[in-house]
Amino acid sequence: MNNKIPNSVIGAVAPVIAAAYYSHSKLNSLLRESGAPGDPPEGNLEAKCSIWLKRCNDDSSIDALQVLGQLIQRFMDQEVSDLWPHVGADQERIRASLATNQLSYQTNGFITLAGSSPAAKTLADYFKARDFASIEAEFGRAISQIDRDPHAAITASSAIIEALGTSNYT
């Protein structure tokens, strides 16, 4: 999978995130926490977000789609409310832009190819990187589903096993 953020997605995300965070310090913190490289670029909030995401695409050591997923996670995972009625339309704008590029947003900040399983790919990466803390978190998430959604727990467990099999972990 190409881990570059398509320009049309950057064009959809930048104004939404700029409006949602409405502060240079908040946007700077969010992008840094998301893994965007370098110092904050100059410009208004929308330009800053756009330039920083393009910078992610230019840095071969960065998984730009992972940064994007982290950047939009809080916004995309929030519920539409009377206080924020525009959130639903803005979330749909981002989803539509991703879909146009055969990508999809999954809960918890995962950007995947449309129709693929984010858990198996992510877990395989965790196994390859020997990131045991993240693997343990995935197990914890699977276990937490046992009582309230057994089918989700089984699916999560299967993804863990599948990831282990595809990671060539020894």
Residues 154 and 126 in one domain: yes
- pLDDT tens-digit profile of 71-119? 999 999 988 776 677 888 999 999 999 999 999 998 888 898 876 555 5
Place of tokens 């449309």: 114
Q: Is the pTM higher than 0.75?
A: no
Residues 79 and 123 in one domain: no
Q: How many domains does the chain have?
A: 2
Residues 106 and 22 in one domain: yes
Contacts of 139 (CB under 8 A, 6+ apart): 160
Range of the domain at 134: 118-166
Residues 104 and 40 in one domain: yes
Alpha-helical (H) ranges within the chain are: 7-21, 24-34, 45-58, 64-76, 87-100, 118-128, 132-144, 150-166
| Structure confidence at residue 127 (pLDDT) | 66
| Structure confidence at residue 2 (pLDDT) | 73
How far apart CA 116 and CA 112 sit, in angstroms, is 6
Residues 27 and 102 in one domain: yes
Residues 66 and 107 in one domain: yes
Instruction: Name which of 110, 42, 38 is nearest 73 in CA terms.
Output: 110
Q: Pick from 78, 95, 113: which residue ends a domain?
A: 113
Q: Pick from 77, 98, 113: which residue ends a domain?
A: 113
Which band of pLDDT confidence, cut at 50, 70 and 90, is reported for residue 126?
low
Joined together, the tokens standing for residue 81 give 């409310």
Residues 147 and 160 in one domain: yes
- Please tell me the total number of residues recorded for the chain in this structure: 170
Does some domain include residue 46? yes
Question: Given its phi and psi angles, is residue 168 left (phi above 0), alpha (psi -120 to 50 degrees) or beta?
Answer: left
DSSP letter assigned to residue 32? H
Does some domain include residue 80? yes
Does some domain include residue 2? no
Asked if residue 167 has pLDDT above 60, the reply is no
Residues 46 and 127 in one domain: no
